[in-house]
Amino acid sequence: MYIFGPVPSRRLGLSLGVDPLASKSCNLNCVYCELGRSFKLTNERKLFVETSFIITELKQFFDKGGITDYVTISGSGEPTLALNLGELVTEIKKITDKPVAVITNGCLLSDPQVRRELMNADVVMPSMDSFMPSTYIKVNRPHGSIKLDWVIQGLRDFASEYKGRIWLEIMVVSGMNDGDNDMLEAKKVLDTMPNIEKIQINTVVRSRAEDYADPVKDLRLRELAMLLGPRAEVIGKFTGSTIHTIDGIDDAILEALKRRPMTAKEFEETMGLNKIEVEMALGKLVQGGFVVKEHFNDRDFFKYSK
């Protein structure tokens, strides 16, 4: 399957995911990645999945009365690596009036063609975890061909050209990029990009690629937001629509977990199920070896067992 969810997103509400990659492909190996390590980085754009395959699944979702707040192109890595990204955005907007969001690490915004392909999206959500070269390398561990000054210039060019909404995410990791100097450098650069609507401060809340990638405390997140100024906000809890799943509960849960770890409570909130139904479904999946349970940040997360 090339679509997944809808899943709860703390930034987008209920988000129907679109994966144009099919398997993990990325140009970064971020220490906090919820999908685990990227063992083979790539910065080459290519066709991973035919647009028609994805659109067929999306049509089936909406024809069956599927509910979502956003259609979000993200998935198993970096979506701008997909050569058909622009075509995909255009075709999605032909079959739904739901806003289309693209979540990207921003590395390829230096490519004018990538910027053009993003122009029809309603929201573009680039991440930029550090504006300091040494910290950027430490947190994001980029492909060797990626240079931070190119990434920053690409973001600046995109912000000046794009007419939609830009919500920039800064994912902070304790002891790595959460210092005052990090945020003041970010502010210095971002103050030159007034077209960025929101600067969203986030931290590690799920399982991550490296055990040392620890979350930042709530109070410190608020302090960092204050340093960045009035556009900055701390990402809070999920708020969005609720779907109601009667049949295929196990399959729906498993498809969502293939893309990201989730808690039982998140399934209750988004799928319209009671606690017992969720626990029974997750119990079967764990017993069958399809899913494993991990305890992190004072919560139990369920994760797809590959």
Are 85 and 51 in contact by the 8 Å Cβ rule? The answer is no
CA 295/CA 133 separation, integer angstroms: 33
pTM for this prediction: 0.77
Task: Name the phi and psi angles at 192, rounded to 5.
Answer: -90, 0
**3-241 sits in which CATH class?**
alpha beta
pLDDT in tens, the chain (306 residues): 788 877 777 777 788 889 999 788 999 999 998 887 877 899 999 999 999 999 999 999 999 888 888 999 987 889 999 999 999 999 999 999 999 999 999 999 999 999 999 999 999 999 999 999 999 999 999 999 999 999 999 999 999 999 999 999 999 999 999 999 999 999 999 999 999 999 999 998 777 888 898 999 989 999 999 999 999 998 865 445 544 444 456 777 777 777 778 888 877 766 666 677 778 778 878 877 788 888 887 788 888 776
- Chain-centre distance of CA 96, in angstroms? 21
Domain definitions of the chain by residue range: 3-241
Looking at the chain, how many residues does it have?
306
Task: Name the phi and psi angles at 142, rounded to 5.
Answer: -75, 165
What count of other Cβ atoms lies within 10 Å of the Cβ of residue 165?
Answer: 16
Q: What is the residue whose two structure tokens read 């995909």?
A: 88
